[in-house]
Chain A
Amino acid sequence: GEDVEQSLFLSVREGDSSVINCTYTDSSSTYLYWYKQEPGAGLQLLTYIFSNMDMKQDQRLTVLLNKKDKHLSLRIADTQTGDSAIYFCAESSNDYKLSFGAGTTVTVRA
Chain B
Amino acid sequence: DTGVSQDPRHKITKRGQNVTFRCDPISEHNRLYWYRQTLGQGPEFLTYFQNEAQLEKSRLLSDRFSAERPKGSFSTLEIQRTEQGDSAMYLCASSLDGGGSPLHFGNGTRLTVT
Q: Which residues of A contact B (CB under 8 A)?
A: 1, 4, 30-31, 33, 35, 40-45, 48, 50, 88, 90, 92, 95-103
- B85 beta carbon closer than 8 Å to chain A: no
Q: How far is the CA of A30 from the CA of B101 in the complex (A)?
A: 12
Contacts of B99 in A (CB 8 A): 95
Contact status of A102 and B41, CB under 8 A, knowing A41-B107, A42-B91, A43-B91: yes
Inter-chain residue pair count (beta carbon < 8 A):
65
Which residue of chain B has the shortest Cβ distance to A51 in the bound complex? B100
Q: Is the CB of B48 within 8 A of A45?
A: no
Task: Please state if A97 and B100 are interface contacts (CB–CB under 8 Å).
Answer: no
> Contact check: which of B35, B100, B106 meets A30 at CB < 8 Å?
B100
**CB <8 Å contact, B40 and A98:** no
Interface centre among A1, A45, A88, A98 (most CB of B within 10 A): A98
State A95–B44 Cα separation when bound (angstroms).
15
**What are 12 A-B pairs at a CB distance below 8 A?**
A33-B103, A35-B105, A42-B108, A43-B93, A45-B102, A45-B105, A96-B98, A97-B45, A97-B48, A100-B44, A102-B42, A103-B41
20 extra interface residue pairs, beta carbon distance < 8 Å, beyond A43-B91, A96-B33, A102-B41: A31-B100, A33-B102, A40-B110, A45-B102, A48-B100, A50-B100, A88-B43, A92-B100, A96-B55, A97-B45, A97-B48, A98-B43, A98-B45, A98-B103, A99-B45, A100-B42, A100-B43, A102-B40, A103-B41, A103-B42
Report Cα–Cα, A59/B42, bound state, in Å: 26
Tell me, rounded to whole Å, the shortest Cβ–Cβ distance linking A60 to chain B: 19
Interface string of B59-99 (1 = CB under 8 A from A): 00000000000000000000000000000000101000011
Counting chain A CB atoms within 10 Å of each CB, the highest count among B42, B55, B100 belongs to B42
**Contact A97-B56, Cβ < 8 Å, known A1-B42, A88-B42, A102-B40:** yes
